[in-house]
Amino acid sequence: RKEVEQDPGPFNVPEGATVAFNCTYSNSASQSFFWYRQDCRKEPKLLMSVYSSGNEDGRFTAQLNRASQYISLLIRDSKLSDSATYLCVEMDSSYKLIFGSGTRLLVRP
Amino acid sequence: EPEVTQTPSHQVTQMGQEVILRCVPISNHLYFYWYRQILGQKVEFLVSFYNNEISEKSEIFDDQFSVERPDGSNFTLKIRSTKLEDSAMYFCASSELVEDNEQFFGPGTRLTVL
């Protein structure tokens, strides 16, 4: 069974903190990975794609480790607006998305 | 900015009734998807659709479910005889290309089966 596993959290951090999430995937054949953000009772929204070389978008850095089959997301200088659930997502060989259960982040003032 | 829209935002129905959930994908997108999320659980793939036919469906997508693109803009999910366990948030998504490309999600329809 193809699974994406994440620590559900919640991660409770103060504003300005750096926080990191990891997730693992089981399907070694998958080629594409993403981090989505989901606010309470809203749709998932793409945060960033994840590449083996690592990619950065402002305060967010994503990394893929194919050998260990894990994906990471680093958020620097956390803002209150970063509070959300972060979904680790794998695109399988048939191009459907397989979602992790999500990691909740709470950023406190 | 173009977006995926879904109607209704909330549908309440009695067990055994048929429901049709509607989606308008982004206009130049060719690939369409339905996902669902039961409250407190992960988002799950239901079905993908391309060139007027189903590309893939999950084991959740049994004979009670069907999809249709009745015209050039709408993409619908029909549940023929709803069960209590069909209560969930149903998200429509679309993408321009299929591989390595963002799937844009609609705001979802919350289905409550009583």
Residues recorded for chain A: 109
Sort out which chain B residues have CB atoms less than 8 A from A102's CB and list them. Answer: 42
The answer, yes or no, to whether residue B11 has pLDDT greater than 90, is yes
Distance CA B83, CA B18 (A): 10
Sort out which chain B residues have CB atoms less than 8 A from A45's CB and list them. Answer: 105
pLDDT confidence tier of residue A43, bands split at 50, 70 and 90? very high
- What pLDDT score was predicted for residue B100? 57
Sort out which chain B residues have CB atoms less than 8 A from A101's CB and list them. Answer: 41-42
pLDDT confidence tier of residue B108, bands split at 50, 70 and 90? very high
Within an 8 Å CB–CB cutoff, is residue B98 touching chain A? yes
Interface residue of A45, A55, A95, A103 to substitute, partner B, most B CBs within 10 Å: A95
Q: How far is CA A9 from CA A65, A81, B37, B55, in A?
A: 22, 17, 19, 35
Share of chain A above pLDDT 70, in %: 98
**Least CB–CB distance from A99: residue in B33, B43, B48:** B43
Interface residue of B101, B105, B112 to substitute, partner A, most A CBs within 10 Å: B105
Q: Give the three-class secondary structure for A28.
A: coil
Section A19-37 average pLDDT: 91
The answer, yes or no, to whether residue B99 has pLDDT greater than 80, is no
- Nearest alpha-carbon partner for B34 in B19, B20, B44: B44
- Nearest alpha-carbon partner for A21 in A79, A59, A71: A71
Within an 8 Å CB–CB cutoff, is residue B25 touching chain A? no
- What pLDDT score was predicted for residue B98? 67
Which tokens hold the place of B112?
A: 């409550």
The answer, yes or no, to whether residue A2 has pLDDT greater than 70, is no
Region of B51 (left: φ > 0; alpha: ψ -120 to 50; beta: rest) is left
- What pLDDT score was predicted for residue A28? 82
Burial class, B63, CB count within 10 angstroms (exposed 0-12 / middle 13-18 / buried 19+): exposed
Query: Is there a contact between A94 and B56 if contact means CB atoms under 8 Å apart?
Result: yes
The answer, yes or no, to whether residue A52 has pLDDT greater than 90, is no
pLDDT tens column, B71-96: 878 999 999 999 999 999 999 999 98
| Greatest mean pLDDT among A24-28, A30-34, A56-60, B94-98 | A56-60
Q: What is the DSSP string of B59-110?
A: TT--TTEEEE--SSS-EEEEESS--GGG-EEEEEEEESSSTT-PPEEP--EE
Query: Is there a contact between B103 and A97 if contact means CB atoms under 8 Å apart?
Result: yes
Please give the helix or strand (H or E) that residue A81 lies within, else none.
none
More confident site: B71 or A12: A12
- What pLDDT score was predicted for residue A87? 97
**Least CB–CB distance from B102: residue in A31, A43, A46:** A46
**Least CB–CB distance from B105: residue in A43, A95, A96:** A43
- What pLDDT score was predicted for residue B73? 87
**Closest residue on chain B to A51 (Cα):** B100
Sort out which chain B residues have CB atoms less than 8 A from A41's CB and list them. Answer: 89, 110
pLDDT tens column, B23-54: 999 998 989 999 999 999 999 999 999 989 99
Q: Give the three-class secondary structure for A8.
A: coil
More confident site: B52 or B112: B112
Q: In the block, which residue shows the tokens 């009695």? A: B14
